[in-house]
Amino acid sequence: MKKQQERAHVYEIFETLAPRYDRANARISLGLEKGWKRLLVKRVLVQAGSGGDILDVCCGTGDIAIALAERGPGLCVTGLDFSPAMLEAAGKKGGDISNLQLLQGDAMELPFADGTFDAVCISFGLRNTPDYRRVLREMRRVVRPGGKVYCLDSFVPDNPVILPAYRLYFRYIMPVLGGGRKYRKQYTWLYQSTEQFPRRRELMKQFARTGLVQVQSRSRMLGACVLIEGTKA
C-alpha cells in the first residue's frame, strides 16, 4: 500500500510539472544538466554503434531518447514513461523523428520480452521509483547478453567537505529556483527523494546484485551527478 501511495504521489508531481520541467531543470542544475546528459548519450552510442535497439526508461520529456535517435539514425529508440503529460511534452519535441517511439508504461513491469534491447538507460528517474532493485532487474531482463544498463542520476556527494554546501543548495535554494512559490513543495520532494536515494557505492552494489558485471561509474559536479553502467553477462 505504501508503494502504491508513493507511486500515485510521484505520478501527480510529474503530471503537474511536465509543462515547465525542462526550464526548471536548466535552472536548478545551473545549466550543467545538458553536459551530464551528453555523457550518457555518448556512452550509449559507444555501446550501440551504428545500429541497434535502445530503451530509455522513465524518459520524461524525451531529452535522452531524442538525442539518441537524432545522433544515431540507424538506431531504433524507444522512450517509456508512466506520465502522459511527460510523454506529451516529449512528443512535441520529437514526434516527427522516424526512429523514435514513445510509450506509456511502468518501469517496474517493462512491456518487452527478455533480451529485446542492446542498451537500456534511465536518467534522473530511478530515484523516483518505489523499488530501485525491481527496476534494475527489469532493465537487465530486457537487455541482450553483452548489452549494457546505464543509470544517470543525482546523488548525495561522498565528499564530506562539500556536503554542507550541497545540502544548503538542494534543500533551500533548489526548490525556489525550480518551482517558485507555487510549485516549491514539489521540488522540495525531489530534494527528499535524492536524500533517500542510495549512495553511489551502494547503487553500484545493487547493479552487481542484479547480475550485472563490469560495473563502473563516472562522476560529475563533485559526485552530485553520477553515471553508473553495468554489462549483462
Average pLDDT, the chain: 90
Residue 214 lies in a domain: yes
User: d(Cα 207, Cα 201) in Å, to the nearest integer?
Assistant: 10
Task: Count the domains in the chain.
Answer: 1
Look at residue 160 and tell me if it is in a domain: no
207/149 Cα distance (integer angstroms): 9
pLDDT in tens, 7-39: 787 888 888 877 777 887 888 887 888 999 999
Instruction: Judge whether 85 lies within some domain.
Output: yes
Backbone angles phi, psi at 150, to 5 degrees: -125, 140
H or E element, residue 81: strand 75-81
Helix (H) or strand (E) holding 26: helix 21-28
Q: Is the dihedral of CA 125, 229, 198, 212 positive or negative?
A: positive
| Whole-number pLDDT of residue 2 | 59
Please tell me the distance from the alpha carbon of residue 155 to that of residue 200, in angstroms, as a whole number: 7
Confidence band, pLDDT 50/70/90 cuts, at residue 98: very high
pLDDT tens for residues 31-69?
888 999 999 999 999 998 878 999 999 999 999 999 999
Domain that holds residue 225: 2-152+199-232
Residue 176 lies in a domain: no
91 in any annotated domain: yes
65 domain-assigned: yes
Question: Smallest Cα–Cα separation from 122: which of 130, 112, 109, 132?
Answer: 132
CATH number at residue 31: 3.40.50.150
